[in-house]
Amino acid sequence: MRVHILGICGTFMGGIAALAREAGHEVTGADQNVYPPMSSQLKALGIGLTEGWDPAQLDPAPDVVIVGNALSRGNPTVEAVLNRGLRYTSGPAWLAEHVLHDRWVLAVAGTHGKTTTSSILAWILEYARLAPGFLVGGVPGNFSASARLGAAPFFVVEADEYDTAFFDKRAKFVHYRPRTVILNNLEYDHADIYPDIASIRRMFHQLVRTVPSDGQLIVNDADPQLAAALALGAWTPRQSFGRAAPADWQVRRTRPDWSAFEIWHGDHCEGAVHWDLIGAHNAENALAALVAARHAGVTSAVSIDALPLFRNARRRMELRGTVGGVAVYDDFAHHPTAIAATVGALRERVGIARILAVLEPRSATMKMGVHRDTLAGSLAAADRVFLYEPPDLGWDVASVARALGARGCAIGTIDALATAVVAEARDGDQVLVMSNGGFGGLHDKLLAALEARR
């Protein structure tokens, strides 16, 4: 079967492409604004890629077109699919029908931490010699691709609450019918899809309604929105996790930056973890993954042995290089809560060293200005803040810079932004670049300019 994927370079759709290829299908696809890591993964898989939306890509007609949720009516290729009566479906629907229908699905949901937690869970199951299938929103460091079929029965999926496709406005995760579900957190996001937090809460409850009574819910004990979603009705046993009682499972740090912590179940210490990641949020991600793995039959001891060997997905506090004593990191953070956690974790790691935070407000919610009043506060732990203000943004980023006082500035071009950061950077500084996109190649521009200066 020839499968053609529209929006193939998105992290989710790139994973669908990898699964379809592994299943023996001929896979082609199209996208625009192509950048790594997905473009690199597709090339390695030998998947043909068309840049742009010329309807000629549909000649000869594929057996099925999988349409990504970034595409909408008016797109030339979408219109050609509809006008020609071609068979089409969504990524989540294809995944459910062709991969998940006979598997034990372990789904990881939440506003933040889905990719890291899914990657940890997949690695624990792999370490336990269970050879799981998985699809996560990035390329996990312990694996060579963002998705694989694996061996039955276990399949780990990053369960996104974003909409499915232009013809199916439900959350992706309602398609997956999981047996084990991690509910990490719930905050307002995706303002282009959901009008308020209540609408997202109801969608999370739709996910809860699909989990069987012999399954398991693994729930962040400290999140009030998750509690409110579960109050709408839950029919599945649950385990709670967090940093303090009364959570069933707890993490307790033994190093200030959370690179070492203990795992407790009630009043019993299950063991100690020393690993490369930092931040309380990542320790909680590991804890949630451990509890989910237990539901699949993996002991705590095996999970604790696996965690020090875990390597996170790209673009999660990824050190891109150090030049002249200046470290440049790449991170996916794009919501104030995630930004605060990322900057705070780096602060705990580097102590008094200066942090230069560089942020692109690129997500749909950011572009709509939903987070403008909380953005400055999320950057409080940084010494200097450089905000990118693209010309097509619908609100005044400079207002956030003003709220930061002398620490903040807003700059309108990528080249000018790179120049300003390099001019400020000095030996020992930590440059933290945050965006959920390619950021115009800023990371490479910074490293090149630092090298030239040196």
DSSP code string of 116-182: HHHHHHHHHHHHTT---EEE-SS--TTSSSSEE--SSSEEEEEE--SEEETTEEEEGGGGS--SEEE
Environment class of 81 (CB within 10 Å of its CB; exposed 0-12, middle 13-18, buried 19+): buried
Closest alpha carbon to 111 in 192, 206, 185: 185
Q: Using alpha carbons, list the distances in angstroms from residue 139 to 119, 136, 201.
A: 9, 7, 29
* 93-133 pLDDT, tens digit each: 999 999 999 999 999 999 999 999 999 999 999 999 999 99
* CATH no. of 102-309: 3.40.1190.10
Per-residue pLDDT at 396 exceeds 90: no
Q: Does 398 or 186 have the greater pLDDT score?
A: 186
CA–CA dist 245, 177 (Å, integer): 31
- Indicate the DSSP class of residue 298: -
Per-residue pLDDT at 48 exceeds 90: no
CA–CA dist 161, 189 (Å, integer): 10
Specify the DSSP element, H or E, that contains 410. strand 408-411
Position 10 scores a pLDDT of: 87
- Residue 211, token pair as written in the block: 């989990």
Q: Which amino acid is at 268?
A: H
| pLDDT class of 382 with cuts at 50, 70, 90 | very high
Strand ranges in 150-267 using DSSP code E only, listed in sequence order = 154-159, 163-165, 168-171, 180-183, 216-220, 238-242, 249-253, 260-265
Q: What is the architecture, at CATH level 2, of domain 318-453?
A: Alpha-Beta Complex (3.90)
Please, are residues 197 and 187 in contact by the beta-carbon 8 Å criterion? yes
CA–CA dist 114, 157 (Å, integer): 9
Query: Computed over its alpha carbons, how large is the radius of gyration of the chain?
Result: 22
* 338-367 average pLDDT score: 89
Please, are residues 236 and 179 in contact by the beta-carbon 8 Å criterion? no
Give 238's Cβ-side CA count (13 Å radius): 21
Please, are residues 78 and 97 in contact by the beta-carbon 8 Å criterion? no
Position 273 scores a pLDDT of: 98
* 151-199 pLDDT, tens digit each: 999 999 999 999 999 999 999 999 999 999 999 999 988 778 889 999 9
Specify the DSSP element, H or E, that contains 65. strand 64-67
* 53-59 average pLDDT score: 96
Most confident of 53-67, 327-341, 350-364: 53-67
- Residue 249, token pair as written in the block: 């499972």
Give 334's Cβ-side CA count (13 Å radius): 22
Position 229 scores a pLDDT of: 97
- pTM, two decimals, is 0.90
CATH of 2-92, one of 3.40.50.2300, 3.40.50.1360, 2.40.50.140, 3.40.50.720: 3.40.50.720
Mean predicted lDDT score pLDDT of the chain: 93
Environment class of 308 (CB within 10 Å of its CB; exposed 0-12, middle 13-18, buried 19+): exposed
Position 337 scores a pLDDT of: 86
* 369-395 average pLDDT score: 87
Longest dimension (CA), the chain: 64
CA–CA dist 312, 310 (Å, integer): 6
Q: At what angle do helices 336-350 and 280-295 cross, to 10 degrees?
A: 110
CA–CA dist 37, 173 (Å, integer): 23
**What ranges do the domains of the chain cover?**
2-92, 102-309, 318-453
Bridge partners of residue 451, in order along the sequence = none
Closest alpha carbon to 14 in 180, 191, 22, 434: 22
- Residue 13, token pair as written in the block: 């759709």
Position 296 scores a pLDDT of: 98
Q: What are phi and psi of 88, to 5 degrees?
A: -140, 155
Q: Does 84 or 362 have the greater pLDDT score?
A: 84
Per-residue pLDDT at 35 exceeds 70: no
What is the distance, to the nearest Å, from the Cα of residue 282 to the centroid of all Cα atoms in its chain? 13
Position 448 scores a pLDDT of: 94
Position 138 scores a pLDDT of: 81
